[in-house]
């Protein structure tokens, strides 16, 4: 990954750490964007390598502290740490490459960190959208259930309402930070779920499929043939929020 890195000699650590603290808290660095300042603090602390063990962890902690000081991380968001773990080979290589000359060229490492921060912010945005969509979808279901389309008929019957309410949780993505707002479920997989079996115990599979088809036509879900999954798959359709 670019070579072996040795920490600073023990006899120079006190002076180097004093310089490091002064640098991180200098007016020039405080005027930088918090992400750049945090990444520079991380880079130089892990380069000095003052401890026998835990230098990476302490550097990431200092980085998180600088981000917190700059208005980020206020709810425990340690995205850069996760990003470095997920891209460890590139992280280590860029650290070494940035140390090849004097003065250090930290641009590639900073660029890498900024890209990671943008990536993690996108994940946080996806997480918020996933949770918010489901919250609003639940409220929409209540309105749809109470909406009358005839003297003795509502838009959704009780069984359909319960099914959609169940699907809100069942279709939640395994990775809440992913770009996909809803997990696709195979029709065959759904028929094996205990809740579905209990809810439709007195009805045929045809009745269950007919109700899914109706919910698709109304726009609450999508039901389509997926060649990769070799059969029908369904997921929530969040466009229903605007319709109802």
| Model confidence pLDDT, tens digit, residues 38-94 | 999 999 999 999 998 999 999 999 998 999 898 886 565 556 888 888 899 999 999
Q: In what order do the strands lie in the sheet with 185-186?
A: 185-186, 231-236, 221-226
Q: Would you say residue 120 lies in a domain?
A: no
Query: Does 124 reside within a domain?
Result: no
**pLDDT tens-digit series, residues 192-232:** 999 999 999 999 889 999 999 999 999 999 999 887 767 89
Number of domains into which the chain is organized: 2
More confident residue, 26 or 2: 26
| Residue finishing a domain among 105, 123, 150 | 105
Cα dihedral across residues 28, 34, 35, 37: positive or negative? positive
The DSSP secondary-structure symbol of 150 reads S
Same domain, 145 and 239: yes
Asked if residue 64 belongs to a domain, the reply is yes
pTM of the model: 0.71
- H or E stretch at 158: helix 158-170
The answer to whether residue 231 is domain-embedded is yes
Could you please report the per-residue DSSP string of 190-233? Answer: HTTSHHHHHHTTTS-HHHHHHHHHHHHHHTSEEEEEETTTTEEE
Q: Are residues 236 and 160 in the same domain?
A: yes
* CA distance linking residue 61 with residue 59, whole number of Å: 5
Question: 219: which 2 tokens?
Answer: 């726009």
Q: Would you say residue 235 lies in a domain?
A: yes
Final residue of a structural domain among 105, 121, 149: 105
Task: Residue 220: give the domain boundaries.
Answer: 136-243
Mean of pLDDT over the chain: 90
Q: State the alpha helices, DSSP H only, in 70-106.
A: 79-86, 88-98
Same domain, 238 and 140: yes
On whether both 94 and 164 belong to a single domain, the answer is no
Flag whether pLDDT at 140 surpasses 80.
yes
Q: How far apart are CA 100 and CA 161, in angstroms?
A: 63
Q: How many CB atoms lie within 10 A of CB 120?
A: 19
- Where is the domain boundary, 105, 125, 146? 105
Q: Are residues 26 and 99 in the same domain?
A: yes
pLDDT number for residue 2: 64
Distance of CA 21 to the CA centre of its chain: 33
Identify whether residues 95 and 145 lie together within a single domain.
no
Which among 146, 148, 163, 177 is positioned nearest to 236, based on CA atoms?
A: 163
Is 162 found in the same domain as 91? Answer: no
Cα 208 from Cα 220, distance rounded (Å): 15
Please report whether residue 112 resides in a domain: no
Which CATH number belongs to the domain containing residue 25 in this structure? 1.10.3290.10
Please report, for the domain that includes residue 217, its CATH number. Answer: 1.10.10
Question: Does residue 129 fall inside a structural domain?
Answer: no
What span, in angstroms and rounded, lies between the C-alpha atoms of 200 and 13? Answer: 71
Question: Within a domain: residue 222?
Answer: yes
Together in a domain, 233 and 146: yes
């Amino acid at each position: 990954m670019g070579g072996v890195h040795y920490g600073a000699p023990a006899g120079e650590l006190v002076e180097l750490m004093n310089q490091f603290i002064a640098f991180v808290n200098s007016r020039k660095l405080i005027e930088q964007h918090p992400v750049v300042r945090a990444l520079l603090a991380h880079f130089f602390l892990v380069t000095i390598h003052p401890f026998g063990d835990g230098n990476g962890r302490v550097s990431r902690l200092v980085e998180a502290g600088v981000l917190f000081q700059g208005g980020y991380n206020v709810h425990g968001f340690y995205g850069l740490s996760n990003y470095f773990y997920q891209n460890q080979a590139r992280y280590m290589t860029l650290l070494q490459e940035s140390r090849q000359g004097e003065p250090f060229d930290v641009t590639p490492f900073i660029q890498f960190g900024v890209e990671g921060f943008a990536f993690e912010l996108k994940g946080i945005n996806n997480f918020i959208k996933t949770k918010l969509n489901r919250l609003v979808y639940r409220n929409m279901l209540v309105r749809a259930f109470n909406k009358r389309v005839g003297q003795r008929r509502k838009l959704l019957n009780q069984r359909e309402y319960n099914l959609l309410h169940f699907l809100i949780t069942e279709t939640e993505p395994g990775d809440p930070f992913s770009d996909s707002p809803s997990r696709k479920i195979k029709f065959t997989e759904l028929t094996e779920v205990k809740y579905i079996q209990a809810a439709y115990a007195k009805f045929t599979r045809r009745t269950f499929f007919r109700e899914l088809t109706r919910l698709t036509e109304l726009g609450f879900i999508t039901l389509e043939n997926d060649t990769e999954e070799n059969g029908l798959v369904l997921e929530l359709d969040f466009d229903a929020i605007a319709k109802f």
